[in-house]
Amino acid sequence: MENLFEAFNEDEFCRIYRGTREFCETPYYRQFLNFLTDGDLVDKVKFANDILHIPPVKTFISIYKTFFAEQVKKEPFGKMKPQDKQGLGACFGYLYRIIYKNYEPEQAWVGDVKEGGTGIKTASFFVKTK
């Protein structure tokens, strides 16, 4: 697979997923871009999605649990803002639907709502259509 960091086009992402421009200024977005540079981690997230049907957002949060714990502490209500949760989901939607191609989303329960969690209840995993 091509370099995913280079394949991720922020302008196209913001055009397709309206309302994400502000999200692109957050530490969550920067962490996602950093993630795209680590082929081994990307492969693990893709395996969890493709084989185990675990939403990439859930695996991503698990991989970077220290980062998320630190960020969530800084949030006003101790969880991610709704637009940041949606923005993170949109990042994975763009990755699977636009970059990987031929994937469609299916909702799944994430349940990261415990104290100190992100507040994400559901997220999509992606099913290959062709």
1 pLDDT above the threshold of 90: no
The confidence score (pLDDT) of residue 2 equals 58
Report the alpha-carbon distance of residue 71 to residue 78 in Å, rounded: 9
For the chain, give the mean pLDDT.
94
pLDDT in tens, 20-74: 999 999 999 999 999 999 999 999 999 999 999 999 999 999 999 999 999 999 9
pLDDT in tens, 89-115: 999 999 999 999 999 999 999 988 877
Helix (H), strand (E) counts: the chain:
7, 2
| Bridging pattern class, strands 120-128 and 103-112 | antiparallel
Strand partners, 109: 122
123 pLDDT above the threshold of 90: yes
The token pair at 40 is 């081994």
State whether residue 104 is helix, strand or coil. Answer: strand
CA atoms within 13 A on the CB side of 27: 11
80 pLDDT above the threshold of 70: yes
The confidence score (pLDDT) of residue 75 equals 87
Taking a C-beta distance cutoff of 8 angstroms, is the pair 61, 118 a contact? yes
pLDDT in tens, 41-55: 999 999 999 999 999
